Chains A and B, each alone.
Chain A
Amino acid sequence: MLRNKNFNNNTLFLPTLAILGLIFLGVIPFVVTPRLSYAFYLMFWMVMASSFNIIYGFTGYLPFGYVAFYGVGAYTTAILWSRLGVPIPIAVLGGGFIGVLLSLIFAPTLRLQGVYFAIVNLSCAMALRIVVSNLPEEWTGGSLGVSLSSVYKPLYSYYLMLSLLVITVYVSYYVSKSRFGIALRCIREDPDAAEVLGVNVVRNRLKAWILAALFSSFAGGIEAWHTAIIDPDSSFNLLITTKTIIYAMFGGLGTIIGPIVGSISLYVLDDLIWGKFPLLNMLILGAMVVILVIFFPRGIIGSLTRKYPSSRRYVR
Chain B
Amino acid sequence: MESILIQAIVSGILLGLIYGLIGMGMNIIYGVMRVVNFAHGEFMMLAAYICYWLNRQYATNPLHSLIIIVPLFFGLGFLVYYLFVPRLLNSEDPEMASFLVFFGISLVLSSLILIIWGADPRGIPFPFKRVSVSIGEFFFPLGRLIAGGFCGIVILLLILLLFKTYLGKAIRAIIQNREAVSILGIDTHLLSAFSFGIGLLLVGLAGGLVILSFPAITPMMGSSYTLVAFVVVILGGLGTPLGALLGGFIFGLAENIGAVFMPTSLSPVIAFVLLITMILIRPQGILGEG
> Which A positions have Cβ atoms within 8 angstroms of B?
62, 108-109, 111-112, 114-116, 118-120, 122-124, 126-127, 130-131, 133-134, 238, 242, 245, 249, 279-283, 285-290, 293-294, 297
Contact = CB atoms under 8 A, between A and B. Distances in A.
B164 to A, nearest CB: 31
11 contacts: A115-B99, A119-B36, A127-B269, A130-B268, A238-B223, A242-B103, A279-B111, A286-B106, A286-B107, A286-B108, A289-B107
A122 B263 CA distance: 23
Contact of B104 (A119, A126, A134, A288): A288
B165 interface: no
Nearest to A298: B92
B265 interface: yes
Contact of B107 (A114, A115, A120, A282): A282
A130 B107 contact: no
Chief secondary structure at chain B's binding surface: helix
Contacts of B88: 293-294
Given A112-B279, A282-B107, A297-B91, A119 B234 contact: yes
Nearest to B283: A112
B163 interface: no
Contact of A286 (B92, B104, B263, B269): B104
Contact of A114 (B84, B96, B269, B280): B96
A285 B266 contact: no
B104 A283 contact: no
A108 B115 contact: no
Interface in B84-133: 84, 87-88, 91-93, 95-97, 99-101, 103-112, 114-115
A168 B10 CA distance: 52
B238 interface: yes
B272 A127 contact: yes
B265 A120 contact: no
B263 A134 contact: yes
A294 B84 contact: yes
A309 to B, nearest CB: 18
B111 A286 contact: yes
Contacts of B91: 293-294, 297
B107 A242 contact: yes
Chain A CB within 10 Å — which of B95, B103, B109, B272 has the most?
A: B103
B276 A124 contact: yes
Contact of A124 (B101, B272, B283): B272
Nearest to A120: B279
B75 to A, nearest CB: 20
A245 B97 CA distance: 12
A116 B114 contact: no
A290 B231 CA distance: 24
A120 B108 contact: no
Given A122-B227, A123-B231, A134 B266 contact: yes
A119 B285 CA distance: 14
B232 to A, nearest CB: 11
B95 A126 contact: no
Interface in B153-192: none
A31 B110 CA distance: 40
Contacts of B275: 120, 123
Given A123-B230, A126-B227, A286-B107, A293 B100 contact: yes
Contacts of A281: 111
Contacts of B115: 279-280, 283
Contacts of B238: 116
A282 B110 contact: yes
Taking each of A119, A123, A281, A294, which has the highest tally of chain B beta carbons within 10 Å of its own beta carbon?
A119
A283 B265 CA distance: 30
B105 A115 contact: no
A118 B99 contact: yes
Which 9 A-B pairs give the minimum distances between C-beta atoms? Answer: A286-B107, A289-B104, A127-B272, A282-B111, A286-B108, A290-B104, A283-B111, A286-B104, A293-B100
A245 B280 CA distance: 27
Given A293-B104, A297-B92, 12 more contacts: A62-B96, A115-B95, A126-B227, A127-B268, A238-B223, A279-B111, A279-B114, A282-B107, A286-B105, A286-B107, A289-B101, A290-B84
Nearest to B275: A123
Contact of B95 (A114, A120, A133): A114
